[in-house]
């Protein structure tokens, strides 16, 4: 229970810091990029180092990087298909999920 409370507090503080950074940057469309994912990842890695050690945290960090690479490929594919063809977003996002999962498991 204490770990969840610490994760909540650290995550909230880091989210606030990233939100301030995003608010200072131009254009404002970048603000959302700095909102949640980086701060949650940093809070999780910090707690993992404290509780499980650096070796386990390094494995988690590599997994996070693999997920980010797979998400980039997925988002690029979805945006390309949506710009090229007139397909509803819900269909292409659902149909492209195997691409994301395939890249994640391959990495």
C-alpha to C-alpha distance for 79 and 29, rounded to whole angstroms: 17
Query: What pLDDT, on the 0 to 100 scale, is given for residue 28?
Result: 63
Comparing CA positions, the residue from 11, 76, 37 lying closest to residue 99 is 76
The alpha carbon of residue 84 and the mean position of all alpha carbons in its chain are separated, in whole angstroms, by 26
* Greatest pairwise CA separation for the chain in angstroms: 50
Q: With pLDDT > 70 as the criterion, what percentage of the chain qualifies?
A: 85
pLDDT digits (tens, 9 = 90+) for 14-27: 777 777 777 777 66
Comparing CA positions, the residue from 13, 14, 1, 6 lying closest to residue 47 is 6
pLDDT digits (tens, 9 = 90+) for 19-62: 777 777 766 666 666 555 666 777 778 888 888 888 888 888 89
Query: What pLDDT, on the 0 to 100 scale, is given for residue 11?
Result: 72
Per-residue pLDDT at 71 exceeds 70:
yes
pTM for the whole thing?
0.66
Q: What is the mean pLDDT of the segment spanning 84-100?
A: 89
Query: What pLDDT, on the 0 to 100 scale, is given for residue 27?
Result: 65
Per-residue pLDDT at 4 exceeds 90:
no
């Amino acid at each position: 229970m204490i770990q969840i409370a610490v994760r909540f507090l650290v995550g909230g503080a880091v989210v606030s810091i990233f939100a301030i950074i995003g608010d200072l940057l131009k254009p404002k469309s970048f603000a959302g990029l700095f909102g949640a994912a980086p701060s949650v990842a940093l809070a999780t890695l910090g707690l993992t180092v404290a509780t499980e050690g650096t070796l386990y945290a390094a494995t988690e960090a590599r997994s996070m990087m693999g997920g980010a690479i797979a998400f980039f490929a997925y988002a690029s594919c979805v945006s390309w298909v949506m710009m090229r063809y007139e397909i509803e977003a819900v269909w292409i996002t659902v149909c492209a999920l195997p691409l994301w999962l395939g890249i994640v498991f391959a990495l």
